[in-house]
Each structure stands twice: as C-alpha cells, then as structure tokens.
C-alpha cells in the first residue's frame, strides 16, 4: 500500500520540474560551448583564411619559458581550461613559481577542470595545491581541449583542438583572445565549485593557536611561511566552518571551546 502523502507527491513534482529545468540549462550551455568551439576553429583555421600571424607554434623545448614570460609580463585574470594535469607546458618548477607569484600580486586565476581530475591522487593534490595558492576552481563533466588565457594579451592553446600530441601555439589576435575568453566564461558558468580539501577547516590548530595569541595576519603569514592572502582565506574558512561573521565572533567561539 502506497503510504506517500499528497505533500510527498508535491515535493516530487517540484523536484522533477527543477531537474527538468537544470537539464535544459545544461543543454543550452552545451550548445553555446559547441557553437563557440566551432567559431574558434573557424577563426584560427588557416584553411579558412586565418592570417599566418594568428598563431605561433611553440617548440617543446621553450614552451615553459614562453608560459613563464606571459605570466610575468601580462596582467589581468588568467583563465586555465584544463584537459589533463599529467602533462603540459607549465608544469616545471620555475613556471609554477611564476604562476604563484602572479596570484600573490593580486591577479585572479580561474581554472575549469574535468571531473576525472577528482578520481586520482595526483589530480586531488593538484587541486589542493592551487586552491591553497588562491586559484578559483570549477568542475565540468569533461573538457575537450586545453588552453590558458593571459588577461587580454594572449592565449596558449593546443594546436589541434583535442589533440595533446599536436603541441601548443601562442595566439595573440585580439579577436581570438576574446573568443577563447568567452568560451572559458561559458564553461565557468556551467561548472560547479571544486570540492575543498578538509585540511584547514575547523581543525587548523596552528592557525587557531596564532589567532588566539592575538597576532595580526601579516605576522601569522610569516610564522606559517605562507602568503597574506592564504592566511586571510584560511581565516575566512574558519569563520564559515564555525558559522560566524566576524573575527571577534570567531575569537569568542574558539575561546569558549577551551573552557
């Protein structure tokens, strides 16, 4: 005998309608992304009349230095659309330091990752490292290519849309940069925030200890060997985990736990 109440049926109808609308929204985003991909392919394809100067092939041996130079000399948001974290032109130590330095100086960095990055220990470590550095991350079911947009200056992308073996090119045409930026922003809107690693939540004992000593954020950053932005992000996370809105309230909650 069906024991469901009319309220249960109403809730199911609401849920079904919500799922239908979300499915339609995702389908719209998928079509928009496909249209943007096709437009990018047309603009960057020499066979369709694109100028030779639109792209510059990057020899594998100098790819890291090219990325490093763009990170150092350009300004504005970096948008990373990631196909894999296992290979690419920006995985050497020097380039990763330049990337961190750019974030530290205040330029935002966003990244869109495929969902399978969550299924490997390397992928999880990568997400944790760059989340700690200050990168904003979102997850989509899958990515079909890889590129990075450096402000409005340039794009480094796969020479073949979905072919890691094709190597990388630098694209500097302003129209092409805007197209890649728009593609990324559409994917960003359709993604979901990457799950946070629970290593700095309510159990962040060293940070809590330094906060209770009354140290300012700058001093805490020096003690922990991290950036000021990182300290402020960790404090904000502590506040969120503990359900408070101010540093004073956080201090009161932490103090009450010792009693």
Domains observed in the chain: 27-193 (3.30.870.10), 205-258 (1.10.10)
Residue 135 vs residues 4, 80, 107, 163: alpha-carbon distances, Å: 46, 10, 10, 26
Residue whose tokens read 């009450």 = 256
**Alpha carbon distance 17, 23 (integer Å):** 10
DSSP state for residue 201 in the 8-state scheme? S
Residue 155 has pLDDT above 60, yes or no: yes
Quote the pTM value.
0.62
Model pLDDT for residues 25-61, shown as the tens digit of each residue: 767 766 777 766 666 666 555 444 444 446 688 887 7
Cα–Cα distance measured from residue 6 to residue 142, given in angstroms and rounded to the nearest whole number: 39
Contact residues for 230 (Cβ-Cβ < 8 A; gap 6+):
132, 133, 134, 221, 224
Q: Helix, strand, coil % (nearest 5) of the chain?
A: 55, 15, 30
- Max mean pLDDT among 10-14, 51-55, 223-227 falls in 223-227
Q: Are 160 and 166 in contact (CB under 8 A)?
A: yes
How many other CB atoms are found less than 10 A from the CB of residue 251?
14
């Amino acid at each position: 005998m069906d024991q469901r109440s009319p309220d249960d049926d109403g809730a199911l109808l609401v849920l079904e309608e919500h799922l239908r609308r979300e499915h339609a929204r995702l389908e719209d985003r998928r079509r928009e992304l496909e249209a943007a991909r096709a437009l990018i392919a047309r603009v960057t394809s020499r066979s369709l009349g694109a100028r030779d100067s639109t792209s510059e092939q990057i020899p594998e041996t100098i790819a890291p230095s090219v990325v490093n130079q763009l990170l150092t000399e350009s300004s504005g948001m970096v948008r990373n659309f990631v196909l894999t974290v296992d290979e690419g032109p920006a995985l050497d130590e020097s380039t990763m330091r330049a990337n961190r330095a750019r974030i530290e100086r205040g330029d935002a960095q966003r990244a869109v990752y495929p969902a399978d990055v969550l299924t490997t220990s390397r992928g999880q470590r990568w997400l944790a490292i760059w989340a700690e550095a200050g990168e904003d991350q979102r997850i989509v079911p899958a990515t079909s290519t890889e590129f990075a947009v450096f402000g409005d200056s340039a794009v480094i992308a796969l020479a073949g849309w979905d072919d890691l073996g094709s190597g990388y090119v630098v694209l500097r045409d302003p129209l092409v940069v805007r197209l890649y930026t728009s593609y990324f922003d559409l994917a960003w809107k359709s993604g979901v925030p990457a799950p946070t690693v629970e290593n700095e939540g309510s159990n962040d004992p060293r940070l809590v200890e330094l906060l209770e000593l009354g140290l300012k954020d700058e001093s805490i950053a020096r003690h922990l060997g991290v950036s000021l932005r990182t300290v402020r992000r960790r404090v904000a996370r502590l506040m969120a985990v503990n359900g408070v809105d101010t540093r004073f309230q956080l201090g009161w909650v932490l103090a009450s736990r010792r009693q």
